[in-house]
Amino acid sequence: MAVVSGRQIRAARALVGISQQELAEAVGLTKQSISKIEDGAVTPRAGTISDIVKKFHKFKVEFTPNEGLCIKSDSVTKLSGKKDFMYFVDLEYEAALAPSTIDGTKPFCMYNLDSRMFKKYLQEYHDAHVERLKKIKDLKIRIISPYTKEEQGVSNNYLDFRYIKDPNFAGMPFCAFGDYFAVINFDVEDPPEILLVYSQMLADSYRKQFDLMWKYALPSLDDK
């Protein structure tokens, strides 16, 4: 993790317009702790800095050398483990709330993903995530999977589901949401491992690829 100073954190807050209290709640600290970090009175743990950096990543703010800041264009972030997975589904949730997802301008697409893996590695956070997605009016997430609804226990109202018969032809699991594209690998030492790419061009390109696969995927369990 790159060195991030308290002055950078204060400047990043000013740049995106969030308070010390909002930042503190986002990373599990008190307002007083954030104030001390920004004033240089305490040296935060690497994990705390990582959480702060990820919070500003959602605003597309990047911390640069010599106490600089910039608004990111395209970027790639590697995530791994349960905590990063929770961060990842929080990004998905924020994208699900966006008008561009609801109106279909930037549809939410998931390919070759097994919902059982989400439940396994998110554990109790999975159910909370599903419940908040259910509350988003008119949300629709399209999924193509080699596993049937019955196998996955999928029944949520916001899911539009199709499947492919042969998992050997499925390829690497991926999803596209908002301006993000992500490749997800559960077959690693500290699962899942996620390559998260912030790129409108790439996200839109994979959505077009998904649309083509959607046409050839089977629309109902009766077709298997």
pLDDT of res. 127: 93
Q: Strand, helix or coil at 110?
A: strand
Q: In terms of DSSP bridges, do strands 108-111 and 141-145 run parallel, antiparallel, or are they unpaired?
A: parallel
Least confident segment among 68-77, 119-128, 185-194: 68-77
pLDDT of res. 1: 47
Please say if the pLDDT value at position 52 is more than 80. yes
Model confidence band, residue 74 (pLDDT cutoffs 50, 70, 90)? confident
184: tokens are 């997800």
Q: What is the mean pLDDT of residues 111-136?
A: 93
Reported pTM: 0.71
Model confidence band, residue 223 (pLDDT cutoffs 50, 70, 90)? very low
Q: What is the mean pLDDT of residues 202-215?
A: 93
Contact of 163 with 144, CB cutoff 8 Å: yes
> pLDDT tens digits for 128-168?
999 999 999 999 999 998 888 888 877 788 999 898 876 66
Contacts of 42 (CB under 8 A, 6+ apart): 33, 36
Phi, psi of 192 (to 5 degrees): -85, 165
131-148 burial, b for 16+ CB within 10 Å, e for fewer? eebeebeebebbbbbbbe
What 41-46 contacts at long range (C-beta under 8 Å, 24+ apart), as own/partner pairs, is 46/1
Q: For residues 120 and 221, which has the higher predicted lDDT (pLDDT)?
A: 120
HEC states along 36-66?
A: HHHHCCCCCCHHHHHHHHHHHHCCCEEEECC
Closest CA to 75 of 198, 177, 175, 184: 198
The rounded percent of the chain whose pLDDT value lies above 90 is 58
Model confidence band, residue 221 (pLDDT cutoffs 50, 70, 90)? low
pLDDT of res. 186: 92
Least confident segment among 66-70, 78-82, 202-206: 66-70
> pLDDT tens digits for 20-47?
999 999 899 999 999 999 999 999 998 8
